[in-house]
C-alpha cells in the first residue's frame, strides 16, 4: 500500500516515513503543499496524510485541488490547531478524518488502516471471503481456520487485491504499490508472488488471471 505524507516538519515526516515503512507501507514525502499537489496528481495513492499548516500551499487548498482533480484516495489531516472550525474546514474541503498534534503514531496507523478499509467497502479490520480470512490489524491470513505463513510481499499482494475486489489490477499497479520508485521493476516477480499465494491459499483460490491485463480478486467463492 502506498502512502503520501505532506508535512513540513522534517523530524515528524522522517519519523512517520520510518514507522510506516516498518509496517510495510511504501511512503512518499512532500515538504510543502505544492510538492504534495504534484505527487498527488502524478501518482496513485491508497491514502494521504496532510498537515494543514503547509508552506506555499496550505493543506486546505491542497486537499481542495486534489478533490477537484478527482483524486479520491482517503486523506487524514494533521493539525496543530485546536479550533473546531479548522477541523470542520478540513473535512469540508474533502478530508476524511483528522488528528490533532501531538498524537501517538499507533493512532495514526489505526486511522489510516480504517480509512483504507472503508474506502474499499469494509468496516471491520477482518476481511472474510469464503474460507479465507485476512486480518489487516494483525497482518494475518487464515484459510479454513488455519494460519497461513506468508512472506511480507505475498501478504502485500493479497491485501492489495482484497482491498480492490472485482477490479482488474495490472502488474504495473501492483508494483507501484509494493515497491519504492527506484526499485528495479520486474513483472515476473509479481507472477511468482501470485503463484505462491495460489498454492498457499488452496483450496480457496479467489485470484484470477485476466490475460494481458493483470489479476482480479473475486468476491464469490472459488468453485
Condensed to tens digits (0 to 9), the pLDDT of residues 195-223 reads 999 999 988 888 889 888 999 987 654 33
Residues in the chain: 223
Average pLDDT over residues 23-33: 93
What is the pTM (predicted TM-score) of this model?
Answer: 0.81
Per-residue pLDDT band for 119 (boundaries 50, 70, 90) equals confident
Q: What is the pLDDT of residue 202?
A: 87
Per-residue model confidence (pLDDT) at position 183: 54
**Per DSSP, what are the bridge partners of residue 132?**
129, 143
Whether residue 45 has pLDDT greater than 90: yes
CATH of domain 126-217: 1.10.10.10
Look at residue 81 in the predicted model and tell me its pLDDT.
66
> What are the domain boundaries of the chain?
2-119, 126-217
Dump strand ranges (E) for the chain: 2-6, 26-30, 47-51, 75-79, 97-100, 126-129, 132-135, 140-143, 146-148, 207-210, 214-217
Element (H, E) at 161: helix 152-162
What CATH class does 2-119 carry?
Answer: alpha beta
Lookup: cell for 180? 519504492
% of the chain with per-residue pLDDT over 70: 93
Is 50 exceeded by the pLDDT of residue 18?
A: yes
When the pLDDT of each residue in the chain is averaged and rounded to a whole number, the result is 87
- 186 — pLDDT class (breaks 50, 70, 90): low
Q: How far apart are the C-alpha atoms of 93 and 130, rounded to whole Å? A: 39
Is residue 10 pLDDT above 80, yes or no? yes
- Is residue 185 predicted with pLDDT exceeding 70? no
Amino acid at each position: 500500500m502506498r502512502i503520501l505524507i505532506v508535512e513540513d516538519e522534517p523530524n515528524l515526516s522522517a519519523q512517520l516515513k520510518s514507522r510506516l515503512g516498518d509496517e510495510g507501507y511504501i511512503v512518499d514525502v512532500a515538504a510543502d503543499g505544492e510538492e504534495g499537489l504534484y505527487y498527488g496528481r502524478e501518482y496513485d495513492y491508497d491514502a494521504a496524510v496532510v498537515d494543514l499548516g503547509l508552506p506555499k500551499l496550505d493543506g486546505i487548498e491542497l486537499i481542495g485541488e486534489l478533490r477537484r482533480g478527482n483524486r479520491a484516495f482517503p486523506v487524514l489531516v494533521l493539525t496543530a490547531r485546536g479550533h473546531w472550525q479548522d477541523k470542520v474546514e478540513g473535512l469540508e474541503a474533502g478530508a476524511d478524518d483528522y488528528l490533532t498534534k501531538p498524537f501517538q503514531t499507533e493512532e495514526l496507523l489505526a486511522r489510516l488502516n480504517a480509512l483504507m478499509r472503508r474506502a474499499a467497502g469494509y468496516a471491520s479490520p477482518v476481511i472474510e471471503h469464503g474460507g479465507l480470512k485476512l486480518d489487516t490489524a494483525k497482518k494475518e491470513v487464515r484459510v479454513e481456520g488455519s494460519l497461513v505463513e506468508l512472506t511480507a510481499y505475498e501478504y502485500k499482494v493479497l491485501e492489495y487485491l482484497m482491498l480492490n475486489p472485482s477490479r482488474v489490477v495490472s502488474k504495473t499497479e501492483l508494483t507501484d504499490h509494493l515497491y519504492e520508485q527506484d526499485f528495479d521493476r520486474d513483472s515476473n516477480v509479481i507472477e511468482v508472488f501470485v503463484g505462491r499465494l495460489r498454492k498457499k491459499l488452496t483450496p480457496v483460490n479467489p485470484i484470477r488471471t485476466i490475460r494481458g491485463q493483470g489479476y482480479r480478486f473475486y468476491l464469490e467463492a472459488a468453485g
